[in-house]
Amino acid sequence: MQNSDRCRYGKRPRPVRSHPADSCRPCWSARLPLEWRDRVVLPSAFRVFREFEVQARRVLGYDASGQLCYSAHDYQLFDPRSDDDEEFYPALTYGESVTAWRLTDGRWLVHRQQEPLGEEAERIDGFTLEPHGPR
């Protein structure tokens, strides 16, 4: 997707910036619990990377000094399915989202959400505090 008024993954449109991958501002605080908002380092610049062959993106946020303070990635995998072997439709088979914020004390608050679909799959959705940011 190029610069446009329509942005996927909850991003809001904004004027085009100097880098073409930074065309939409992510809703970086959407999953951040209220009790943590005053403890995160605020991002002032973003880089958005998209994959066009699958539903995937990665967003990196940087503070005023250029240090990484926000990271998010998500993707969805689809398989073709059919009820009658004639008409096929895409069915979600796996979804994952990881969002991380650097705290003012240097630790990272990480929210992971995984939706593995299948008979034995168990959904993962929760927050952890980690000493290092995501890679």
Average pLDDT by stretches of 10, the chain with 135 residues: 37 44 64 93 89 81 95 85 85 85 96 76 86 86
SS3 content of the chain, % helix, strand, coil (to 5): 5, 50, 45
CB 77 within 8 A of CB 56: no
pTM of the predicted model over 0.75: no
pLDDT at 99: 93
The DSSP call for residue 31 is: T
Closest Cα to residue 101, out of 74, 132, 70, 125? 70
pLDDT digits (tens, 9 = 90+) for 1-21: 333 333 444 444 444 444 444
